[in-house]
């Protein structure tokens, strides 16, 4: 059901719709995306299917929506979702009366039993976890994370510039004042959660001032929020080569997140292991994240 009349549009959105979209069409009633997909998949009850299918055949917006929702990247299973699925399977299997790790009448070799006990221990860990680990040092604007994936959630780091960014010229022939002014404009957009605009401003900065570790770092964070994960990895790797303590720890953490989201868990583990072994603000969270990755 289209509830356009009840939508909480901010002023910029209202202006955009006035300029680009025209007034809302009265009487239009698009079924929700789930119904549209289900109609195309043929899983709707007989009574409902013809109405939804007929609408889909005539509404271009709904056709585009279904096409895009079925795009391979859109329907991709995320790491957090996979962990929840796995935890649910283990939890349900564990609650059955017959021990699921012990096939009836078949003794197991000691090594196999030890392996299964470790797996059972992981299942018990996931099924008992009801509160997320202690939150990291950065504030998150998002609602409470799902307990199973809490350690690897993406939080927005506050703007925190290393002293070097102010004192040490960042590029060849580039005036420090110009750099700080341009960086400030980019980070203004970042503070307002306008990651697309912040990334647009930070990208040329990293080219003009290649040794500007903070520009690479915040560009990497923007790219993570924009789901450009491989590009985020590139940014954090650039930053890591330039950073000194304690900024290096921030970069190591976000590089680990970026590797995880880019489908490179082995490289994520390398970053997390280093943080887990070093006392500091990320130690506890990195150790928890290693436990969750656990593959």
Partner 1 sequence: MDEFEKLYHAYVDAVFRYSVHCVGRREIAEEITSDVFLALYQNLERIDVRQLPAWLYTVARNRAMDYWRRQALEERYAATPAAMAAQPDSLLGGSLFDNHALNPVHRVCLVLRYIQGMNRAEIARYTGLSELQIKGHLQYARQILRKQIRQGSK
| 163 near partner 1, judged by CB under 8 A | no
Q: Which residue lies nearer to partner 1 by CB, 82 or 277?
A: 82
| 84 near partner 1, judged by CB under 8 A | yes
State the minimum distance, in angstroms, from the CB of residue 101 to partner 1.
Answer: 7
Cα 287 to Cα 147: distance, rounded to the nearest angstrom: 15
Q: What is the CA radius of gyration of the chain?
A: 25
Q: Which residue lies nearer to partner 1 by CB, 87 or 242?
A: 87
| 196 near partner 1, judged by CB under 8 A | yes
Q: Sign of the CA dihedral 142, 217, 202, 80?
A: negative
1 is written with which tokens?
């059901």
| 220 near partner 1, judged by CB under 8 A | no
Contact with partner 1 (CB under 8 A): which of 179, 195, 218, 282? 195
# residues contacting partner 1 (CB under 8 A) = 84
What residues between 13 and 52 interact with partner 1 by CB under 8 A? 13, 16-17, 19-22, 25, 27-38, 40-41, 43-45, 47-48, 50-52
| 68 near partner 1, judged by CB under 8 A | yes
Residues, the chain, total? 295
Contact with partner 1 (CB under 8 A): which of 85, 114, 118, 124? 85
What residues between 130 and 159 interact with partner 1 by CB under 8 A? 141-142, 154, 156
17 is written with which tokens?
């719709």
Neighbours of 132 (CB within 10 A): 16
152 in Cβ contact with 245 (< 8 Å): no
Cα 161 to Cα 180: distance, rounded to the nearest angstrom: 11
Cα 261 to Cα 40: distance, rounded to the nearest angstrom: 30
């Amino acid at each position: 059901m289209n509830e356009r009349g009840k939508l909480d549009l901010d002023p910029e959105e209202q202006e955009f719709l006035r300029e680009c979209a025209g007034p809302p069409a009265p009487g239009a009633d698009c079924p929700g995306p789930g119904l549209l997909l289900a109609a195309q998949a043929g899983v709707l009850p007989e009574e409902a299917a013809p109405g939804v299918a007929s609408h889909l055949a005539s509404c271009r917006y709904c056709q585009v929506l279904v096409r895009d929702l079925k795009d391979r990247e859109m329907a991709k299973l995320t790491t957090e979702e996979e962990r929840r699925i796995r935890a649910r399977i283990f939890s349900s299997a564990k609650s059955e009366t017959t021990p699921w790790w012990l096939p009836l009448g078949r003794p197991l070799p000691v090594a196999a039993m030890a392996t299964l006990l470790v797996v059972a221990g992981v299942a018990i860990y996931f099924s008992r976890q009801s509160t997320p680990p202690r939150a990291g040092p950065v504030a998150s604007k998002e609602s409470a994370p799902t307990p199973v994936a809490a350690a690897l959630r993406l939080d927005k780091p506050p703007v925190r510039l290393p002293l070097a960014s102010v004192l040490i010229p960042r590029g060849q022939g580039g005036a420090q004042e110009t750099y700080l002014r341009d960086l400030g404009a980019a980070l203004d957009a970042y503070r307002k959660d306008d990651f697309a605009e912040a990334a647009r401003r930070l990208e040329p900065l990293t080219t003009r001032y290649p040794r500007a570790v903070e520009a690479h770092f915040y560009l990497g964070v923007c790219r993570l929020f924009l789901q450009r994960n491989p590009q985020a990895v590139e940014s954090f790797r650039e930053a890591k080569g330039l950073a000194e303590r304690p900024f290096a720890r921030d970069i190591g953490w976000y590089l680990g997140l970026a590797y995880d989201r880019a489908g490179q868990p082995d490289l994520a583990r390398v970053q997390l292991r280093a943080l887990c072994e070093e006392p500091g603000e990320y130690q506890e969270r990195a150790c928890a994240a290693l436990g969750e990755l656990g593959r």
